Chains A and B, each alone.
Chain A
Amino acid sequence: GENVEQHPSTLSVQEGDSAVIKCTYSDSASNYFPWYKQELGKGPQLIIDIRSNVGEKKDQRIAVTLNKTAKHFSLHITETQPEDSAVYFCAAPGTDKLIFGTGTRLQVFP
């Protein structure tokens, strides 16, 4: 079955800097890669996803890149702001479910 690894587990950046979170997956047939953001005390919420027919997708300050050959995908946040502080999860599809990475706690310091 699918296995997803996520790094780093924690990330601290200065406000205005960029942040990058990386995930690798094991099943070369996987073709959907979402990213979820979990704010303190709330459930995770989808922020961006990418399907395997594209290599990059952007939505304002966030972008996701996909390298199917290397089987890894990354979340890029530019011009970080304090409200970006949260836990971020990557995921890949399993049978009838999502396989989540272990999460990255991002802290943005003013």
Chain B
Amino acid sequence: NAGVTQTPKFRILKIGQSMTLQCTQDMNHNYMYWYRQDPGMGLKLIYYSVGAGITDKGEVPNGYNVSRSTTEDFPLRLELAAPSQTSVYFCASCITSGYNEQFFGPGTRLTVL
């Protein structure tokens, strides 16, 4: 049971480039989340999904897109990267709702120069 896996671990992008951060969970969880964490700061919710085919915006969705075609995968797409998107990105999953443990991945450290 690998839990929540994220790839890549590190990435450097140039301004204007695009990339996809991958997130996969093998726990058959319905709910998945993307957070960003700026240095020394807390967790900000970007997007979340309550099941395959359903996605919803969090508090900081601008500049990002997501899709959820399967239960296992929840990729985060960055279009036209900007320095303000330099951050650590965490994916998380839980079986249902806000009343159960969220399992976090190890994170992707992204730098936009």
The reply on B74 being an interface residue by CB < 8 A is: no
Question: How far apart are the CA atoms of A88 and B97 in the complex, in Å?
Answer: 21
Q: Across the interface, which residues of A come within 8 angstroms of B107, CB to CB?
A: 41-43
Quick one: CB contact mask for A77-110 with B, threshold 8 Å, 1 for yes?
Answer: 0000000000001000111111111110000000
The reply on A49 being an interface residue by CB < 8 A is: yes
A-B contact count (CB 8 A): 52
Known: A96-B56, A100-B43, A103-B42. A46 touches B99 (CB 8 A): no
Q: Across the interface, which residues of B come within 8 angstroms of A46, CB to CB?
A: 101-102
- The listed residue (B42, B90, B98, B101) touching A97 by CB distance below 8 A is B98
Question: How far apart are the CA atoms of A45 and B67 in the complex, in Å?
Answer: 25
Q: Which of B33, B104, B105 has the most CB of A within 10 A?
A: B104
Return B95 CB to nearest CB of chain A, in Å. 12
Q: Give the interface size class of chain A.
A: 20 to 34
Does the CB pair A89–B98 fall under 8 Å?
A: no
What's the tally of chain B residues with a CB closer than 8 Å to chain A? 22
Question: How far apart are the CA atoms of A99 and B31 in the complex, in Å?
Answer: 15
Question: How far apart are the CA atoms of A8 and B3 in the complex, in Å?
Answer: 32
The reply on B50 being an interface residue by CB < 8 A is: yes
Q: Across the interface, which residues of A come within 8 angstroms of B50, CB to CB?
A: 96
Q: Which residues of B contact A (CB under 8 A)?
A: 4, 31, 33, 41-43, 45, 48, 50, 56, 58, 90, 92, 97-99, 101-102, 104-107
Query: What are 14 residue pairs bridging A and B, where the CB atoms are less than 8 Å apart in the complex?
Result: A32-B99, A43-B107, A44-B43, A44-B102, A44-B104, A93-B98, A93-B99, A96-B31, A96-B50, A97-B98, A98-B98, A100-B43, A102-B41, A103-B42
